[in-house]
């Protein structure tokens, strides 16, 4: 399947994901995580930056939930983040010239700002919990849930208000296992760049962003002779 274009639509929320080459670790100590937080904080000052709504840093990958502004260009912004972090990482580990830190281009998908948005944020901030790295999602230092609750960190003042208010029992929701159906839908959206929302919204935003191809099943269309004996 051809890769869909990267079009950033103002006013749309996105889930962004990037991972290290061969799924090797990016972060092996606290300072490694803090270094990426500083890169992201610097990057959010750029004119092409989105607003940061939620995030989680994991040992070999990371997730962001962002909201695009009028001047946001996610392709150029994510390229800057990856290149800047790669350069600083190689300098720190004395591995300059040893190749890329990240796999191919970042993954992303637009998210409808309703319950689907809350589902994505719940998925993102509970990553460390699902991976068995912590007993409680809010105890994982390297996510926005911890930062919002504890009030400090390089990204604290960069976190903006959500377009959807979380429910009163948000913390309990985050720490409960997600339904398999919701997890499957999220992972399929991440893999293919498929918009996440109601069928009507998905069709509308896919047409707007040139993502219609992501709504169709993988593989070639079935032909009449496929069922012939």
Q: What is the 3-state secondary structure (H, E, C) of the chain?
A: CCCCCCCCCCCCEEEEEEEEHHHCCCCCCHHHHHHHHHHHHHHCCCCCCCEEEEEEECCCEEEEEEECCCCCCHHHHHHHHHHHHHHHHHHHHCCCCCCCCECCCCEEEEECCCHHHHHHHHHHHCHHHHCCCCCCHHHCCCEHHHHHHHCCCCCHHHECCCCCCCCCCHHHHHCCCCCHHHHHHHHHHHHHCCCECCHHHHHHHHHHHCCHHHHCCCCCCCCHHHHCC
Q: Can you tell me the mean pLDDT for 218-223? A: 53
pLDDT tens column, 80-138: 999 999 999 999 999 988 888 998 789 999 999 999 999 999 999 999 999 999 999 99
2: pLDDT strictly greater than 80: no
**Whether residue 222 has pLDDT greater than 70:** no
The residue-averaged pLDDT of 50-77 equals: 97
Q: Please, which pLDDT band fits residue 6 given cuts at 50, 70 and 90? A: confident
Residue 84, pLDDT score: 96
Integer Cα distance of 28 and 62 in angstroms: 14
Residue 7: pLDDT band (50, 70, 90) is confident
22 confidence band (pLDDT: 50, 70, 90): confident
Residue 4's pLDDT is what? 58
Q: What is the pLDDT of residues 27-59, one digit of tens each?
A: 999 999 999 999 999 999 999 999 999 999 999
Mean pLDDT of the 181-190 span: 94
- Structure tokens belonging to residue 99: 């190749």
Residue 103 pLDDT: 85
Higher-confidence residue of 172 and 2: namely: 172
Q: How many CB atoms lie within 10 A of CB 71?
A: 12
User: Domains along the chain?
Assistant: 13-218 (3.30.70.1290)
- Tens of pLDDT, residue by residue over 137-161, are 999 999 999 999 998 889 999 999 9
Choose the weakest-confidence range: 24-38, 64-78, 149-163, 215-229: 215-229
Average pLDDT value for the chain: 91
Give the pLDDT of residue 151. 84
């Amino acid at each position: 399947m051809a890769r869909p274009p990267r079009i950033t639509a103002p006013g749309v929320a996105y889930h962004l994901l990037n991972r290290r080459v061969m799924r090797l670790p990016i972060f092996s100590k606290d300072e490694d995580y803090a270094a990426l937080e500083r890169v992201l904080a610097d990057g959010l000052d750029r004119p092409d930056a989105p607003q940061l709504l939620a995030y989680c840093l994991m040992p070999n990958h990371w997730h962001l939930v962002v909201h695009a502004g009028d001047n946001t260009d996610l392709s150029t912004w994510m390229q800057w983040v990856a290149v800047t972090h790669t350069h600083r990482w190689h300098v720190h580990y004395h591995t300059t010239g040893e190749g890329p830190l990240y796999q191919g281009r970042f993954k992303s998908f637009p998210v409808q700002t309703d319950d689907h948005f809350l589902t994505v944020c719940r998925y993102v901030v509970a990553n460390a919990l699902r991976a068995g790295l912590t007993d409680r999602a809010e105890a994982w230092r390297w996510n926005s849930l911890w930062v919002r609750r504890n009030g400090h960190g390089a990204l604290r003042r960069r976190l903006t208000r959500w377009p959807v208010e979380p429910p009163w029992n948000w913390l309990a929701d985050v720490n409960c296992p997600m339904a398999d159906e919701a997890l499957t839908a999220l992972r399929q959206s991440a893999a293919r760049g498929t918009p996440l929302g109601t069928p009507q919204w998905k069709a509308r935003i896919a047409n707007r962003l040139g993502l219609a191809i992501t709504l169709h099943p993988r593989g070639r269309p079935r032909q009449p002779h496929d069922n012939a004996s």
